[in-house]
């Protein structure tokens, strides 16, 4: 998958070069490019924003600089352009799986009060929000999207680890334990030491249902629908 990011702060994306995403970049499972929207400003001081028509606090990113930066990207008929926005539809595991099948994503990161609506109407296929709160910019949401989508790209993670994760089958994951066997007087549940795979599977399934019922009962209701 190729991901082009339109941003005013490309330096923020260096943190993607670590751990599992770093490895996915190294193995070409994903290619990530940043395009600095400011490079497309025609003004002497590289200004990219201006006051909002109609008044109000804060600045709005101009449509022309965004459009020119978008036009600098080579596209195919399979390119999908996403604007990270608190007004978008919520990013869910379901949506993540769907996006992991895309060939080419363009992610537009807003800042300040947002982006002029006219360029959004012209270039954006979909608006996605990472939660019902407002962040300073679209950079962290874009990184969240890239991180979670990359985990679902074929070959990046072991298929088993994705299958049993939280939100698969509308359940949260069962609790995990590792060495030492006894920690601060607390013992690892006996069944996990038994070597009986059928019993372990049964225990994990029950735990997953109990945890989901306790912490996120609405997920179980989703399953019933
Ligand atoms: C300060 S916010 C603008 C908020 C906007 N004035 C509003 O009230 O809807 C600046 C940028 O951060 C990004 N952003 C903020 N919260 C977000 C969220 N929950 N999900 C995705 N992107 C978000 C968007 O790209 C947005 O253009």
Span 24-50, pLDDT tens digits: 999 999 999 999 999 999 999 999 999
pLDDT at 166 exceeding the cut of 60: yes
Portion of the chain with pLDDT greater than 90, in percent: 92
Q: Give the pLDDT band (50/70/90) at residue 188.
A: very high
Mean pLDDT, residues 134-151: 98
- The alpha carbon of 170 and the centre of ligand 1 are apart by a number of angstroms equal to 28
> How far apart, in whole angstroms, are the C-alpha atoms of residue 166 and residue 178?
19
- The alpha carbon of 84 and the centre of ligand 1 are apart by a number of angstroms equal to 7
- The alpha carbon of 95 and the centre of ligand 1 are apart by a number of angstroms equal to 19
Q: Measured from the CB, is residue 135 less than 6 Å from ligand 1?
A: yes
Average model confidence (pLDDT) across the chain: 96
State residue 160's pLDDT score: 83
Q: Measured from the CB, is residue 137 less than 6 Å from ligand 1?
A: yes
> How far apart, in whole angstroms, are the C-alpha atoms of residue 209 and residue 166?
11
pLDDT at 170 exceeding the cut of 80: yes
pLDDT at 203 exceeding the cut of 80: yes
State residue 224's pLDDT score: 63
Length of the chain: 225
> How far apart, in whole angstroms, are the C-alpha atoms of residue 100 and residue 151?
8
State residue 202's pLDDT score: 98
Please tell me the pTM assigned to this model. 0.95
State residue 164's pLDDT score: 79
State residue 162's pLDDT score: 84
Q: Measured from the CB, is residue 86 less than 6 Å from ligand 1?
A: yes
- The alpha carbon of 181 and the centre of ligand 1 are apart by a number of angstroms equal to 46
Mean pLDDT, residues 47-73: 97
Q: Measured from the CB, is residue 61 less than 6 Å from ligand 1?
A: no
State residue 225's pLDDT score: 52
Q: Give the pLDDT band (50/70/90) at residue 223.
A: low
- The alpha carbon of 8 and the centre of ligand 1 are apart by a number of angstroms equal to 14
State residue 222's pLDDT score: 72
Which residue's CA lies nearest to atom 20 of ligand 1?
129
70, 172, 89: which is closest to 130 by C-alpha?
89
- The alpha carbon of 165 and the centre of ligand 1 are apart by a number of angstroms equal to 28
Q: Are 171 and 208 in contact (CB under 8 A)?
A: yes
pLDDT in tens, 106-117: 999 999 999 999
pLDDT at 59 exceeding the cut of 80: yes
- Helix (H) and strand (E) counts for the chain? 8, 9
> How far apart, in whole angstroms, are the C-alpha atoms of residue 102 and residue 3?
10
Q: Which of 138, 139, 140, 148 to mutate to test the pocket of ligand 1 (most atoms within 8 A of CB)?
A: 138
pLDDT at 191 exceeding the cut of 70: yes
φ/ψ (deg, to 5) at 124: -90, 130
């Amino acid at each position: 998958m190729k991901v082009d990011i339109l941003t005013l702060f490309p330096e923020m994306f260096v943190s993607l070069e670590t751990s599992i995403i770093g490895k996915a970049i190294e193995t070409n499972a994903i290619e990530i490019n940043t395009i600095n929207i400011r490079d497309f400003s025609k003004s002497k001081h590289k200004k990219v924003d201006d006051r909002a028509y109609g008044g109000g606090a804060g600045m709005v990113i101009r449509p022309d600089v965004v459009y020119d930066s978008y036009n600098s990207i080579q596209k195919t008929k399979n390119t999908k352009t996403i604007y990270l926005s608190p007004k978008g539809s919520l990013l869910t595991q379901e949506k993540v799986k769907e996006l992991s099948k895309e060939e080419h994503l363009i992610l537009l990161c807003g800042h300040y009060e947002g982006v002029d609506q006219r360029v959004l109407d012209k270039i954006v296929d979909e608006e996605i929000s990472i939660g019902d709160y407002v962040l300073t910019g679209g950079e962290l949401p874009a990184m969240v999207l890239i991180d979670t989508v990359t985990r679902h790209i074929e070959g990046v993670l072991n298929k088993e680890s994705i299958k049993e994760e939280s939100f698969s089958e509308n359940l949260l994951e069962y609790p995990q334990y590792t060495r030492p066997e006894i920690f601060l007087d607390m013992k690892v549940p006996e069944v996990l030491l038994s070597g009986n795979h059928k019993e372990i599977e049964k225990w994990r399934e029950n735990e997953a249902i109990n945890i989901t019922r306790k912490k996120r009962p609405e997920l179980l209701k989703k399953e019933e629908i």
